[in-house]
Amino acid sequence: MPLRGCDFPNCESPAERGSGDCMICSSHRCLEHLAPEFHACPSEDDDPDSFFTAYDAAKQGHLQALLNKVDFNALRSIATRLHDNVPCYIPAFLNATEQAIPDAESKQILEQTGGQNCNLDICFDDGVVWIARLRFEEPTVLPRDAQATISISEVETLIFLARTNIRVPEVFHHSSDESEIGTPYMLMEKLPGKPLQWPDASTQQRTKIMGQLVDVFLELEKHPFAATGSLPEVAWWDRSPRVIYMIKGGELATLATDNFLTHLWRLEHLPSLLAIVKDDHFYLKHADDKGDHILIDEEYNITGIIDWEFASTETKNLAFSSPCMMWPVQKYYDGNNDLSEEEYDLRKCSNAVDEKIWRR
């Protein structure tokens, strides 16, 4: 069952997952019906200026549509009820001292808007601050049922992590029922600190972060799982046959040949790879560790780790590998598979735990 079908009239092919979802016209197309004779939107490759102008306008329109459908009075009422009936307000919607109409061009809203969610501060009169996370409904994000599954997984992951010594936001409420405020949402704690900007950190600051990351890995190592997958139900499965099926059907056409050969190799070598595995446990890994998932204070102490969507349990080598913020990406694309200086430094930080942290 494909994630989405091509919406061109009478087409029964799956929509291509990489390029088939058009932000500009909200269509979902297979490779054939992405061709200019069937799809009139500007192309990023052929006319990047027109493409990004139209893309940005469409994205802002989708955000405004989301804000327009939310009942923010109901949202504030629910938050107040959950927080001992303490009144609250949403700073992004304040104009002077009065409630204003939600505006997708608001700097305060855009600063907390990510790739999957619109995040809004909810401030209570007692000084406590929560975040309301609203799921995007634009064409480039997953369909609603898939989003609901991922949202449940994120909540279960945060509940699991709350039992560890890793600081993560507390979830106070979540719902996929549109009848509550008009859209799926989550109410969660806003942790102190600011997102880490790894490229801007000094060598000394990076070293300090690395030492704390090793502590996070050590804590996660204390909580193994028996199978790979995502919470709440982890169960081992080999996704290569499914990926090959999607490539053959046109649903995954980006770098199709490379991916096809990669998964064929995995299927061929999986038995021998499993035979040499010494640790049959799996460990939780963050899926988007590019740096801004780490919150820090002014002294570069980690105050929390956020954005646990798509987290999964993986083998020890992968789970405790260096985060992608340290990868020498350009050198890797140029054919150089050497580790970066930061990766070697992270390995040095982990020497006390028997050099368990490797990227590849």
Check which CATH number belongs to the domain holding 84 and give it.
Answer: 3.30.200
In a domain, 271, yes or no: no
Range of the domain at 337: 195-234+282-353
Find how far residue 210's CA is from the centre of its chain. 22
Domain presence at residue 258: no
Per the domain annotation, does 16 fall within a domain? no
- Residue 61 included in any domain: no
Angle value at C-alpha 195, between 181 and 317, nearest 5 degrees: 100
199 & 345 share domain: yes
Q: Examine the domain organization and report whether 135 and 202 are in the same domain.
A: no
Structure tokens belonging to residue 315: 């083998």
Q: What is the pLDDT at residue 237?
A: 63
Task: Single out the residue in 190, 211, 244 at which a domain terminates.
Answer: 190
**Does one domain contain both 151 and 217?**
no
- Based on the fold, state whether residues 141 and 217 are members of the same structural domain: no
CA-CA distance, 360 to 351, in Å (whole number)? 17
Give a yes or no: residue 15 inside a domain: no
- In the chain, the number of structural domains is 2
148 and 211 share one domain: no
Whether 220 and 306 map to the same domain: the answer is yes
Assess whether 77 and 124 both reside in one domain.
Answer: yes
What is the reported pLDDT for 167? 97
* SS3 category, 28: strand
Q: Is residue 56 part of a domain?
A: no
Residues 127 and 228 in one domain: no
Query: What's the CA gap between 272 and 345, in Å, rounded?
Result: 31
Which domain-ending residue is among 130, 165, 190?
A: 190
Q: Are residues 185 and 299 in the same domain?
A: no
Q: Tens digit of pLDDT per residue, the chain (360 long)?
A: 788 999 999 999 999 998 899 999 999 999 999 999 999 999 998 899 999 999 999 999 999 999 999 999 999 999 999 999 999 999 888 654 455 567 777 777 888 887 788 999 999 999 999 999 998 888 888 888 888 889 999 999 999 999 999 999 999 999 988 899 999 999 999 999 999 999 999 999 999 999 999 999 999 999 999 888 899 876 666 678 888 999 998 999 888 999 999 999 989 988 887 787 777 899 999 999 999 999 999 999 999 999 999 999 998 889 999 999 999 988 888 888 899 999 988 888 876 555 444 444
**Do 113 and 221 reside in the same domain of the chain?**
no
Does 139 map to a domain? yes
Does residue 47 belong to any structural domain of this protein?
no
The per-residue pLDDT for 162 is 95
Q: Does residue 177 share a domain with residue 209?
A: no
Residue where a domain terminates, one of 132, 159, 190: 190
Task: State residue 357's pLDDT score.
Answer: 45
Helices (H), the chain: 48-69, 72-82, 107-111, 144-161, 178-181, 203-221, 240-249, 256-275, 316-319, 329-333, 341-349
Whole-prediction pTM: 0.87
Instruction: Please check whether residues 149 and 213 belong to one and the same domain.
Output: no
Distance from the first to the final alpha carbon of the chain: 33
Alpha carbon separation from 92 to 103, 110, 172, 246, 331 (Å, rounded): 9, 10, 21, 42, 41
